[in-house]
Amino acid sequence: MSAPLKTHPAESLPRPAGMAGLAADWASDQQTFKKVSWGKAMMWIFLLSDTFVFGCFLLAYMVARMSTTVPWPNPSEVFALEIAGTHMPLILIAIMTFVLISSSGTMAMAVNYGYRRDRKMTAVLMLVTALFGATFVGMQAFEWSKLIAEGVRPWGNPWGAAQFGSSFFMITGFHGTHVTFGVIFLLIIARKVWRGDFETERRGFFTSRKGRYEIVEITGLYWHFVDLVWVFIFAFFYLW
């Protein structure tokens, strides 16, 4: 006669039913995210919720633009610059887009070097990514100051539909805030990587287990999301 199978003490406990069971699965990390770390899973959940927010903003912008009876300002003219006597439509926006997309490349390389445990290259590439992000925010600040000087306000503008100003400041401001927080986060993690906090397990925020650079990948997830959102803003707001 075969011996009875031994069961783990946790397996012998009855599983709660209904919402209590769902909460137990999520809290124990046994069913919902069985092969994903909590840090990465929570970042994905945050990005999913942020996707809905940005989606609502862009949907509201499209509804406002299509429903207004007043002519909508021409983005090619509103965002044009005079450089050396030459009228250049959307030149600043094109540079901003190039800078932000380039930062995705440096961030991806930082993640790669992080998993190779190359502290120096990881930190340098994260600092370069932060520099790209800060450059983007600086150019956005210049864009804001230029339009404000030309009379653009959340309640009106000199070129047509009043909704243009509120849409512009809401959408680009919300995205710029995300980029700013991303730059701060990049600087914090780059400093910790450079000091070797993930090798010595130094106490502090965002410090993982020894040799684990997963936080660099989590930072990269956030940064790639910010870049992807800008592509949609660029297409809907500046090219439409």
pLDDT interval class at 13 (50, 70, 90)? low
The pTM assigned to this predicted structure is 0.81
The pLDDT assigned to 206 comes to 61
pLDDT interval class at 23 (50, 70, 90)? low
Strands, E, within the chain: which ranges? 81-83, 86-88
Amino acid at 9: P
Q: What is the average per-residue pLDDT within 211-224? A: 86
pLDDT interval class at 27 (50, 70, 90)? low
Report the C-alpha gap between 224 and 186 in whole angstroms: 13
C-beta of residue 59 within 8 angstroms of C-beta of residue 232: no
Measured distance between the N- and C-terminal CA atoms of the chain, rounded to whole angstroms: 77
- In this structure, the chain runs to a length of 240
Q: Which domains does the chain possess?
A: 43-238 (1.20.120.80)
Closest to 40 (Cα-Cα) out of 28, 51, 29: 29
pLDDT at residue 139 greater than cutoff 60:
yes
pLDDT at residue 112 greater than cutoff 80:
yes
Q: Flag the least confident range among 38-42, 51-55, 217-221.
A: 38-42
Task: Tokens for 100, please give them.
Answer: 């932000």
pLDDT at residue 230 greater than cutoff 80:
yes
Beta-ladder partners of 86: 83
Closest to 172 (Cα-Cα) out of 145, 193, 194, 151: 145
- Per the listing, tokens 């006669």 go with 1
